[in-house]
Amino acid sequence: MTCLASTENSGRRYLPAYFSPEAESPNQQLLPLSARGNDQDHLEVGGCDVPDLVERFGSPLYIVDELTLRTACRQYLSAWKRFYPGPAQVLFASKAWSCLALCALVAREGLGVDVVSGGELYTALAAGVDPGRIYLHGNNKSRLELEQGIESGVTIVVDNWLELETLASLGRQVTIFLRLTPGIECHTHQYIRTGHLDSKFGFDLQQLSEVCQFIRQHSHLYCRGLHAHIGSQIFELQPHQDLGEVMVQALVATREAGLPVEALNLGGGLGISYTETDDPPSIGAWVEQVAQGVIEACGRRGIPLPELLCEPGRSLVGPAGITAYRVGSRKEVPGVRTYLSVDGGMSDNPRPITYQSTYRALMANCLSAPLTQVVTVAGKHCESGDVLIAQAQLPPAVAGDILVVAGTGAYNYSMASNYNRICRPAAVLVYAGDASLILRRETYLDLVRQDLLPPHLAF
C-alpha cells in the first residue's frame, strides 16, 4: 500500500488541517481527538495504526475512538452542572449507533439511553443499562413493544392517541412522558426536522388539555414529563432557547390540567463538523442556551425549575467514528471527473445518497502526501448514486491504499444494509493502543441465515 506521492514529511504536519484550535468540544473537530500521524506517515487513532487495523480486521472497517466518546459524555454532564441549577439527566440517543459496547460505555459514563424500538430496547437492556434510565420512543410502537417497555420498567414516551389508549387498556402501572410538537423549525434537512407542526411525531399542543383529561381518568398512567425534539444536525442556538419557552408554557398548562409533571426532555440535535465549512456550537454553548431558555421561562412565571433531560446522539458518537476503506479501481472521464472506487459505499454509509450528506476523506497510509487531485469517491454497489464524496481532495492513489472517511460514528452502522448482498463491516473500539472488536464482520452465511428454500425449488 503506497501512495504515488512522496511520504518524506511526517503526518504530524498534515493533521492540524483537521483540527480547529478554537474548538471547545469533539463535535467541532473533523477527526477523533486521539488522531495523529505516526513515524510511518500513517494515521493513528486511539494509539492504533489505521492501516494495521485494516490488515488485522479487514475493510471496510468502522473505528470508534473511546477517548472522543467518553470526552463528549463528560462534557455534556459537566455542562449541565455548570449551567443548570436544577436536576438534569443526559441520555444517549442510541439510534445513532445501537450496539452492546456503546450502550455499555455511555452507561458507565453516567448517561441513560434513549431507544426507539423493541430491538434497541433489547440491546440497551442486554448491555446492562439501568431500566430506570431508559426511555422508549417511536411514533408507531406496537402493542408488543409497549408491553416490552412496561415489563422492563422503562419510561415510555407516548407519541399519539393510539399508544395512549393502548397503554390505558393494558391496565398496568407505567411511567410516561408526552411527546409534543412545538412548532419550531430549524435550518436542516427536511427529513431530519421533527419539531415543526407538519411532522409525524407527537401530540399537537392544541390537544394537550384533552390528553391530560384522558390521563387523569387512568390512574395507572403516571405522566412524569413532557418531551420535544426539534431536529438533527442543527447549528442554530436560538431555536433551542425558544423551545424552552414553549415547553415551560406546556408544563404550566399540564399542571393546571391536573397532572403533576416534574420533568422536561428537550431532545438533542446538536450538529457536528463533517467538513471544514461546518461551524457547530460547542457542547457547552448548546447546553447553556437550552438551560437559559428554561431558566428564563420559569423565572418569568415564578415557578421552580423542573428536571431537564436531553438526548444527544450524533454529537456524542459521530466525531468518535471513522471508516477505513481499501482503494480499488480508478476511472478517468477526460474533462469531466475521475472516479476512485473503494470497497464499501452506500451499504455502510447511506447518508450521502439519502440526505446528500458531505464528508471529508484522507489517505491513512500517506498522510503528508500533497493533495494534488480532486476525485469522486465512489462505492462498489450497482447504483449510479453510490457516491461517498463528490469532490474529495486527495493525493494520487493506487489500488490497496487506505482511504479514511471522517465523522462516520453516527447513523452509518445503524443505517447500514446488505444492499447487493454485501456483508456489513466489522467495528473496533480503540484506546491507548488496544483495539477491541465490538462488531464482527458479517459473512455470506449471515446473508442467507434467514433465507428459506421451498422444497419444490430445491435441486
Separation in Å, CA 176 to CA 119, 158, 375: 20, 6, 51
Rounded CA separation 393/60 (Å): 20
| Residue whose entry in the numeric block shows the C-alpha cell 498522510 | 367
Omega into 60 within 30° of 0, i.e. cis? yes
* 363 half-sphere exposure, CB direction, 13 A CA radius: 31
Separation in Å, CA 355 to CA 190, 352, 372: 9, 6, 28
Pairing state between β 48-49 and 263-265: unpaired
Helix (H) or strand (E) holding 170: helix 161-170
Dihedral of the alpha carbons of 394, 396, 398, 403, in degrees to the nearest 10 = -10
Q: Which of 73, 366, 382, 423 is catalytic?
A: 382
Q: Which amino acid is at 20?
A: S
In 3-state terms, what secondary structure has residue 226? strand
135: nearest Cα among 125, 232, 167: 125
Q: Which amino acid is at 101?
A: A
Could you tell me if 187 and 139 are in contact, meaning their C-beta atoms sit under 8 angstroms apart?
A: no
In 3-state terms, what secondary structure has residue 375? strand
Rounded CA separation 434/53 (Å): 10
Could you tell me if 368 and 11 are in contact, meaning their C-beta atoms sit under 8 angstroms apart?
A: yes
In the DSSP assignment, the letter for residue 449 is T
Rounded CA separation 268/309 (Å): 9
Q: Which amino acid is at 83?
A: F
Phi, psi of 122 (to 5 degrees): -60, -40
Residue 382 annotated among the catalytic residues of the structure: yes
Phi, psi of 109 (to 5 degrees): -85, 0
Rounded CA separation 373/378 (Å): 15
> Residue 134 — left, alpha, or beta (φ > 0 → left; ψ -120 to 50 → alpha)?
beta
Rounded CA separation 342/340 (Å): 7
* Residues marked as catalytic: 382
